[in-house]
Structure 1
Amino acid sequence: MYIIEQFFGFLNNQLLKMTWLYELVRLLVEKVFRLSIKERLGGSIHFFIYDTIKIFILLSVLIFIISYIQSYFPPERTKKILGNIKGIKGNILGALLGTITPFCSCSSIPIFIGFTAAGLPLGVTFSFLISSPLVDLGSLMILMSFFGIKIALAYVVVGLILAVIGGTLIDKLNMEKYVEGYVKEIEDVDVEVAELTREDRINYSKDQVKFIINKVWLYILIGVGIGATIHNWIPQSVIENVIGSKNPFAVLLATVVGIPMYADIFGTIPIAEALVGKGVQLGTVLSFMMAVTALSLPSIIMLSKVVKRKLLYVFVSIVSAGIIIIGYLFNLYSYVFM
């Protein structure tokens, strides 16, 4: 048993946490730049280089793997799968299918339109819409590399629960009439799904890596830059007073601050890492991450062109309330995960 634990510990440290990369960057900063990583400037440079390289390596590998899996579930096939399952089972399946789409919230909306036009239950499509940017296999692996398996799994589980509950509530409210008319009028063409060869799937996966990296690289750099600043330059006392445990409204504040931002989960993780390092409670950090990924302002603007105001308000209210409740619950029981 000890040997097995040591083996998996070695894999976790070398493949996910990339301790070898941490040491290489430390040597670069200390030997080449002649700065100590224990000082502000050296620590900031180390944080930025190490986290940036680490995220891009993990992201490239994981997007390739996820895209290869996703090649078996094109939108046409996904619509057929979801169309045959009703009720809560449909919401669960919609949320789970959202985990294999490595898209930001804005990229998920065109698929949401296609599902709605195909006549899928509105609740199922919203479960997909919530889950797709919030939770995916890539975020699970990257969260594991930064925070460990307990927190990573907890994030994924609560994200899926939020997606299922949110979709179910919207379904029970019978809000189909609040979808814009043109969406329902879109002709749904039942396209024959071509069977891809292994080479086709590999080429598709490579293209997805290039496409997604091109979309998110700037947000990752911004996120890592903010994380390095928080980690090395902002005093812990300031962080503690604003969104620390001393502030009972920290979860609300983190959620409100997160909504106007536009980034995917990969851009928020370095910020979350720095906040946790400064002693911010886990639930507050998770609320910030969820607000940024699930309720970014650009995605809400895009969604407003697809659904009427009442449905948009209901969607934002349900997801916001869910994020806030999750934040406070995790703050209350954070000792289980830390």
Structure 2
Amino acid sequence: MFDWLQHFADWLIYAVIGISPQSHLGEALNFFVYDTIKILILLFLITFLMGIVNSYFPIDRIKNFLSRNKLYGGEYLMASTFGAVTPFCSCSSVPLFIGFVKGGIPLGVTFAFLITSPLVNEVAIAIFLGMFGVKATLVYVVSGILLGVISGAVLGKMNLEPLLTDWVRQVWKQAKADQEVFDAEKTTFVQRIPTIIKEAFGIVKSVLVYVLIGIAIGAAMHGYVPEGFFEQYIGKDTWYAVPLAVLLGIPMYANAAGIIPVIQVFVAKGIPIGTSLAFMMAVVGLSIPEATLLKKVMTTKLLLIFFGVVAACIILSGYLFNLIL
């Protein structure tokens, strides 16, 4: 989908600017250009599409539907499964997360999507299948979806909506105001487009600084963390290897397809597969760049709760993988 963008980043950094592809700086800048443009495009498109949805399906109606007890937790499974079929990394998932929040979808359900989306996707499944076989792949897919369901359900029971930022509440109010105008004036779809586009650009503008800071952090880590750095710390067969792997993985930033070959190297060097998978899930499911982007919609307390719950689930998964794989 974004092959053209990767070619553009390669051309700009390696051909126009003239930085070597083998250099740390070249790799970091290439990563920064590619991910920044990709996330801004995704943010605008998703916000625009959610604006269209909101203009025809009022926020309260969507929220009430997904909050009904009749679903018996099925809404978390639906969101987590949707996350599994969307090929986004943690930072790329944030625009859709913002769109869900803007649409008034319950926070726990939104978290279920946000957690699963970077962990599981078709590219990662194909690579995982070729490297580790059917059994490990099934465990990886099922655990990724369940991790989203369980974490989302736990977070959903904690009544965390008051911990969203004032910016989110302003977005909700604006969406409701726009809907009231549309209903009162009985505007057509074409007449609604300029308002929806204006609102989408406004959201992109309001989070631009967070996007740039987050991706810059990720690019620096992507380009400058030395090879072999992690093996020396998580290669030991000790009880604390799994939580240590998660703690070391959180500052990193990569998508599942990019980190799986690294995990193969870990396993080949004798690191237990559960410890390796815990590291992978922390890298793709939690990251400092992701936290920077989410800071626009979450207070610090909510960010810490979110990271803590997901990290705990990943650690438990790592121990479980080491027992069964």
**Same fold flag (TM > 0.5):** yes
**Counterpart-to-counterpart distance in 2, 1:100 and 1:329:** 24
CA pair 77-248 structure 1, distance change in 2 beyond 3 A: farther
> Once the 2 structures are TM-superposed, how far is the Cα of residue 138 of structure 1 from its aligned partner?
2.1
User: Per-residue deviation at 1:139?
Assistant: 1.5
In the alignment, the residues of structure 1 paired with residue 320 and residue 302 of structure 2 have an alpha-carbon distance, to the nearest angstrom, of: 27
Q: Are the counterparts in 2 of residues 117 and 185 from structure 1 also a CA contact under 8 Å?
A: no
Q: Which residue of 2 aligns with 1:161?
A: 146
Please report how far the alpha carbon of residue 292 of structure 1 lies from its aligned counterpart in structure 2 after TM superposition: 0.2
Report whether the alignment pairs 1:93 with 2:83: no
Is this contact kept in 2: 1:116–1:184, CA < 8 A? no
The Cα shift of 1:310 comes to 1.6
SS in 2 for 1:131: helix
Q: 1:132 aligns with which of 117, 130, 135?
A: 117
Tell me the distance in 1 between the aligned counterparts of 2:79 and 2:96. Answer: 12
Q: What SS class does the counterpart of residue 314 from structure 1 fall into? A: helix
Shift of 1:269: 0.8
Q: TM-score under structure 2 normalisation?
A: 0.62
Runs (4+) off by over 6 Å: 76-82, 189-193
* Structure 2 runs not aligned, ≥5 long: 1-45, 180-187, 191-214
Alignment of 1:51-130 (within 5 A): 83=63, 84-86=65-67, 88-130=73-115
- Give the C-alpha shift of residue 259 in structure 1: 0.7
Q: Are the aligned partners of 2:62 and 2:103 in contact in 1 as well (CA < 8 Å)? A: no
Q: Deviations over 1:190-226 (max 9, x none)?
A: 8969xxxxxxxxxxxxxxxxxxxxx9xx98xx79x97
Query: Relative contact order (C-alpha < 8 Å, sep 6+): which is higher?
Result: 2
3-state SS of paired residue (1:279): coil
**Further displaced range: 241-250 or 111-120:** 241-250
- Check the 8 A contact 2:254/2:283 in 1, yes or no: yes
RMSD: 3.1
Q: Distance in 2 between matches of 1:142 and 1:157?
A: 16
2:239 is matched by which residue type in structure 1? P
Partner Cα distance (2:301, 2:66) in 1:
27
Q: Report the alpha carbon displacement of residue 165 of structure 1 after superposing the two structures with TM.
A: 0.9
Distance in structure 2 (CA, Å) of the matches to 1:293 and 1:78: 29
**Contact 1:82/1:90 (<8 A) preserved:** no
- How far apart are residue 294 of structure 1 and its match? 0.6
CA contact (8 A) 2:66 2:105 kept: no
1:276-291 matches, within 5 Å, as 276-291=267-282
Instruction: Give the drift of 1:132.
Output: 1.1
Match of 1:263 in 2: 254
Could you tell me how far apart the structure 2 residues matched to 1:161 and 1:110 are?
Answer: 22
Task: Classify 1:137/1:252 alpha carbon distance in 2 versus 1 (closer, same or farther; 3 Å).
Answer: same
Say yes or no: does 1:275 pair with 2:266.
Answer: yes
The verdict on how the C-alpha distance between 1:148 and 1:327 changes in structure 2, with shifts beyond 3 A counting, is same
Contact 2:245 2:275 in 1 (8 A): yes
Do the aligned residues in 2 keep the contact of 1:122 with 1:176 (CA within 8 Å)?
yes
The Cα of 1:245 is off from its aligned counterpart by 5.4
Amino acid at match of 1:93: M
Residues 1:296 and 2:277 aligned together: no
- Show CA shifts across 1:106-143 (max 9, x none): 11112111111111111011111111111122211221
Aligned residue number for residue 239 of structure 2: 248
